[in-house]
Amino acid sequence: MWKKQFAAVFLDMDGALLDSGNHAQQVWMQWAQQHGIDEALLGEQIHSQRVQEIVRRLAPHLDTLQEVNALEAALLQMTQRHQSQLQQGVSELLQALGETPWGVVTQSHRARAEAQLQQAGMQRPPLMVGAEQVSSGRPDPEPYLLAASFYGVDPRDCLVFESDEAGIKAAQAAGMTVIAITNRHQRHHLQRADVVISGWRSIILHPQRQGIVIEVVA
């Protein structure tokens, strides 16, 4: 059993909170085909990195801003056509957080992230850090450091729920504790996390006067 107290909790969106299927992958594959880019180079980065970073890496010869705007528009349209689902146990988890400072940290732009959460039936979180709010995305710690600064808490007192390696690296580089959830990747891909769980049912939350105690039971 693992048990620890935290001042704030931050959650990755795609993979941890939501099951958004492979719809984003369709947009990226069409983009790659249009520009003669090997689709195999997309990999899992389309779920874990910001659009602008993927474009710069795979197509440095293109106008980054123009491509990002086009991709974000296409991804938003895809989001509006295909509803994401909350991962099993998420509703209970968010309810149990109570007054604990918490937020969503995502590599998606806020408009798309908010649309996905709304479609899944989740209310707007008290804090959301999106791709356009930081100068560097994961695995850089900036997104998580920004989240901690919003609440004025020490990053070392923060817990992050993540679902991929880049996010784990970002949170740990920020000095935060990480619980990885195996919704998208197998356990051996997430071993650098402090704790790895197979689902939200493995978590029990104990709100305190200040902060919250997180208990892992399985």
Predicted confidence at residue 37, as pLDDT, reads 92
pLDDT digits (tens, 9 = 90+) for 142-168: 999 999 999 999 999 999 999 999 999
Six-digit token string for 111: 């408009």
Low-confidence ranges of the chain (pLDDT < 50): none
For the question of whether the overall pTM of this predicted structure is more than 0.85, the answer is: yes
3-state SS assignment for residue 15: coil
Q: What percent of the chain has pLDDT over 90?
A: 62
Nearest C-alpha neighbor of 89 from the set 204, 191, 179:
204
Predicted confidence at residue 183, as pLDDT, reads 63
Six-digit token string for 205: 């939350």
Question: Are 200 and 90 contacting, i.e. CB atoms less than 8 angstroms apart?
Answer: yes
Amino acid sitting at position 212: I
Predicted confidence at residue 125, as pLDDT, reads 96
Give the number of other CB atoms < 10 A from CB of residue 76. 17
Label residue 43 left, alpha or beta by phi (over 0 means left) and psi (-120 to 50 means alpha): left
Predicted confidence at residue 99, as pLDDT, reads 93
